[in-house]
Amino acid sequence: MDLGIAGRKAIICASSRGLGRGCAQALAEAGCDIVVNGLDQNRLEQAAAAIKSSTGARVTAIAADVSTPEGQAKLLEACPDPDILINNNGGPPRRDFRDLNRENILDGVVQNMVTPIELTKAVIDGMADRAFGRIINITSISVKMPISGLDLSSGARAGLTAFMAGVCRDYAHKNVTVNHILPGKMDTDRLRGGFERAAEATGASIEAIRKEQAEEIPAGRFGQADEFGQLCAFLASTHTGYITGQNFLIDGGLFAGAF
């Protein structure tokens, strides 16, 4: 399918690896000029080179922390008028909520709620003026299905979802949409780190824990960054102007709900 976005400009936050990298790859394959972002300069440059080599796309690499005003300014300097914005950021580590202090809580809210709101504010009016815009927020299955220890991440991402629910409807008539993708258990560094922690805590092998968790998913496996990226690219396409304010689970059926 031709997504109709060749030549469009896209910013993909936190895209040197994992789900963000999958989104960057898919958007580059669709013909977009992309800005990729990460904290590790070497890993970011390697990712940018690989995407450029495999797609021929124009790729700009910006090493910056998107949670900071300075980092956001660097992204917007590289691409001041994006047509597509993929909001993504690392979440706070798994932690019992009783161990959180005020600083921890505020940091988590800045990472997973404030930052995407700030970037959206910076670009959405320009999108409206050009009569095309796609804003996609990578949140989590935990917005719908609580996960013990991820209460801060869940709360901040749910807050973002509620905040954008009104914003998206104010811009729908301008062909600017705002949607959310909710990943379940995706085969990323974050998930693998969870296996390692569980192995240390229980004495079980990493492979046994991985197998047990995969069996909990109706699809019988973990999701892949490339299939996540393809969903993201579709939501960024010209075919989705009538879809806004929606939450798209990509979880292999793990969330057992009809709605």
Q: What Rg do the C-alpha atoms of the chain give, in angstroms? A: 18
Buried-state track 158-190, b at ≥16 Cβ within 10 A, e below 16: bbbbebbeebbeebeebbbbbbbbbbbbbbbeb
Q: Is residue 1 part of a domain?
A: no
Res. 196 pLDDT band, cuts 50 70 90: confident
Q: Is residue 76 part of a domain?
A: yes
Enclosing domain of residue 85: 9-184+225-249
Helix or strand or coil: residue 12?
Answer: strand
H helix intervals, the chain = 18-29, 41-55, 69-78, 102-109, 115-130, 151-171, 189-202, 206-215, 225-235
Res. 232 pLDDT band, cuts 50 70 90: very high
Based on the fold, state whether residues 66 and 193 are members of the same structural domain. no
Based on the fold, state whether residues 69 and 129 are members of the same structural domain. yes
- Which CATH number covers residue 99? 3.40.50.720
pLDDT over 90 (residue 20): yes
Based on the fold, state whether residues 133 and 213 are members of the same structural domain. no
Based on the fold, state whether residues 161 and 207 are members of the same structural domain. no
Based on the fold, state whether residues 156 and 194 are members of the same structural domain. no
% the chain with pLDDT above 70: 100
Give the N- to C-terminal CA distance of the chain in Å, as an integer: 28
Question: How many structural domains comprise the chain?
Answer: 2
CA angle 230, 114, 150 (to 5 degrees): 70
Report d(CA 80, CA 11) in Å as an integer: 10
Q: What is the pLDDT of residues 101-131, one digit of tens each?
A: 999 999 999 999 999 999 999 999 999 999 9
Based on the fold, state whether residues 70 and 139 are members of the same structural domain. yes
Q: Is residue 258 part of a domain?
A: no
Q: What is the largest CA-CA distance in the chain?
A: 57
Q: What is the pLDDT of residues 51-65, one digit of tens each?
A: 999 999 999 999 999
Q: Is residue 257 part of a domain?
A: no
Based on the fold, state whether residues 147 and 203 are members of the same structural domain. no
pTM above 0.75, yes or no: yes
